[in-house]
Structure 1
Amino acid sequence: MADLPVRHFPGRDGTRLAYRESGTGRPFVLLHGFFSSGTQNWVRSGFSAALAERGHRLIMPDLRAHGDSAAPRDAARYPPDVLTDDAFALIEHLELTDYDLGGYSLGARTVVRMLVRGAVPGRAVIAGQGLREVTGHGGTVARYLRHVFGHLGTFEPGSAEWKAEQWLISTGGDPRALLHVLDSVVDTSAGTLTGIRVPALVVVGADDDRDGSADALARALPDGTHAVVPGNHTTAITAPELAETVAGFLADQ
């Protein structure tokens, strides 16, 4: 599968950030997960092609320090909520006023941050994330990743930590920059979720340990819907059912 051509836009602080597009029709901005990329999450999984066939214009940025976006090592370039600022910068750059918004894992957390900070897409998709995670009470993943990045080269081959390290190597990620990304993540209080009036789909893999938390997030949102698709946190994004569920949700507007 040929990768899509890369385009660039400036973050609000001038950082050079990358994005790709696929399809024509109603814009759908998609934010990928931690130490992945727009291409890895949305293109190679087949998700973007499935949505493009259904009449959507997929806009898929690489988050700061990911993919083809700049990965500065200076901690000052990662202020609190910088990923949210970058996503707003993309929407401003493309002059989007009527669009849908979605994200997976860290991208989904960023979607929630955008919504509480005033983003008004037609519909929002929050995939692979739950109430425990967006409110900051599910910090085990961040602690695990800090452990991996801080002890590279020491893990037993075949262990979970070793596999995470191999994924980091395969993506060309800079562990120092990625640690700064983790430091920039801002939690969202449960009380602020009640102010989100955008219809939101909270979808998660059946074998993802976030499933119960995802249902709680859907119930915490004034117009939330919960859905489950096959797979775990790693594989659910490749499930054809994810694209079908999201397409059906977007078609309801």
Structure 2
Amino acid sequence: MASSPTDRPEPQYFDSFDGKRIAWYEMGEGKPLVLIHGYFSDAFTNWIRYGHAAVIAARGFRVIMPDLRAHGSSAKPHDAASYPPDVLMRDAFALVEHLALSNYDLAGYSLGGRTVMRMLANGATPRRAVLSGMGYQGIIDTHGRGRYFRNVLTNLGSFERGTTEWMTEAFLKTTKGDPQALLRILDTFVDTPPATIAGIATPTLVLTGVEDHDNGSGAELAMALPNGSFREIPGNHMNAVMKPELGTEIANFLAA
């Protein structure tokens, strides 16, 4: 049992659509929010450690935070069959079904934001959605960013200290990531066409660090959404998750 809102709580588990065990954490009571972390990360690192989940929960939300497949306390299989296209989206839908959620919100950071987009593109109808740490290019051309991570995961230990690749590898070490399982995740990415984005009616906030250009333009993504809005917070792609503004902006948008 966590003794403070930033301690690591005990996970809960369910079996996803294919029987793989997926972990999730909860904080708070009220309107359900499914909050999805980024690549190489986990629910604790992305949402609990820096207080974002507590800030959102304090605004009257039941914050539900899964560990993505191949991340955190969830299953990390190595076989290709466990990583079909859009598997993260399917896991998220399975969690929604498992918890019998009907009137809920969706939010995610980076890969979590892309997973939210894939849910919206495949019929999810949340009350509101937040795409944080994500831009237009990262939605319509997932393999561009995927090539960067594939290079990191297949060349571990070879990067010069201080480079972006070296820092990405250092983050992998802090979260005790499984390189083989994470490499499989890259095979699951599915692009979302512009026409599909243009058909998503859910009120959606696009939220990025002012120095975050890793996945293209957040402003462009917000403009492509019929009911999109755009906000910037301090930081780049790696450190915006440490800024209190991330949780505050998500909470403000969802509670409005």
What TM-score, normalized to structure 1? Answer: 0.95
Which residue pairs with 1:97 in the alignment?
A: 102
Deviations 1:9-37 (A, max 9, x none): 11100000100000111111001000100
Gaps of 5+ in 1: none
2:220 paired with 1:216: yes
Q: Is the contact between residue 204 and residue 211 of structure 1 (CA under 8 Å) also seen in structure 2? A: no
Q: 1:140, CA displacement in angstroms? A: 4.1
Aligned length: 251
Which residue pairs with 2:191 in the alignment?
A: 187
Q: 1:166, CA displacement in angstroms? A: 2.3
Aligned match for 2:252, one of 243, 248, 252: 248
Aligned match for 1:131, one of 132, 136, 150: 136
Seen in structure 2, the aligned counterparts of structure 1 residues 211 and 153 have a Cα distance that, compared at 3 Å, is closer
Deviations 1:74-107 (A, max 9, x none): 0110000000000000000000001100000000
Give the 3-state SS of the residue equivalent to 1:57 in structure 2.
strand
Which amino acid in the other structure matches residue 175 of structure 1?
P
Deviations 1:179-199 (A, max 9, x none): 110110111000011221110
Q: Is the contact between residue 127 and residue 202 of structure 2 (CA under 8 Å) also seen in structure 1? A: yes
- Looking at structure 1, the residues matched to 160 and 176 of structure 2 have their Cα atoms a distance apart, in angstroms, of 21
Which amino acid in the other structure matches residue 130 of structure 1?
G
Identity of aligned residues (%): 51
Seen in structure 2, the aligned counterparts of structure 1 residues 212 and 175 have a Cα distance that, compared at 3 Å, is closer
Q: Is the contact between residue 103 and residue 126 of structure 2 (CA under 8 Å) also seen in structure 1? A: yes
Seen in structure 2, the aligned counterparts of structure 1 residues 211 and 187 have a Cα distance that, compared at 3 Å, is closer
Q: 1:242, CA displacement in angstroms? A: 2.0
Which residue pairs with 1:23 in the alignment?
A: 28
Seen in structure 2, the aligned counterparts of structure 1 residues 73 and 212 have a Cα distance that, compared at 3 Å, is closer
Map of 1:3-14 to 2, 5 A cutoff? Answer: 3-14=8-19
Which residue pairs with 1:119 in the alignment?
A: 124
Q: Is the contact between residue 4 and residue 22 of structure 1 (CA under 8 Å) also seen in structure 2? A: no
Give the 3-state SS of the residue equivalent to 1:20 in structure 2.
strand
Give the 3-state SS of the residue equivalent to 1:30 in structure 2.
strand
Aligned match for 1:41, one of 35, 42, 46: 46
Give the 3-state SS of the residue equivalent to 1:13 in structure 2.
coil
Provide the alpha-carbon RMSD of the alignment. 1.4
Aligned match for 1:233, one of 225, 234, 237: 237
Q: 1:143, CA displacement in angstroms? A: 1.4
Q: Is the contact between residue 6 and residue 20 of structure 1 (CA under 8 Å) also seen in structure 2? A: yes
Q: 1:238, CA displacement in angstroms? A: 2.2
Q: 1:158, CA displacement in angstroms? A: 3.7
Q: 1:251, CA displacement in angstroms? A: 1.7
Give the 3-state SS of the residue equivalent to 1:231 in structure 2.
coil
Q: 1:163, CA displacement in angstroms? A: 2.5
Gaps of 5+ in 2: 1-5
Deviations 1:208-249 (A, max 9, x none): 115861111111111001111111111212222222222221
Map of 1:76-87 to 2, 5 A cutoff? Answer: 76-87=81-92
Which residue pairs with 1:169 in the alignment?
A: 173
Give the 3-state SS of the residue equivalent to 1:19 in structure 2.
strand
2:203 paired with 1:199: yes
What TM-score, normalized to structure 2? Answer: 0.94
Which amino acid in the other structure matches residue 72 of structure 1?
P
Q: Is the contact between residue 7 and residue 49 of structure 2 (CA under 8 Å) also seen in structure 1? A: no
Q: Is the contact between residue 84 and residue 114 of structure 1 (CA under 8 Å) also seen in structure 2? A: yes
Q: Is the contact between residue 56 and residue 63 of structure 2 (CA under 8 Å) also seen in structure 1? A: yes
Deviations 1:29-73 (A, max 9, x none): 001000100110000021001111111111000000000000000
Q: Is the contact between residue 205 and residue 211 of structure 1 (CA under 8 Å) also seen in structure 2? A: no
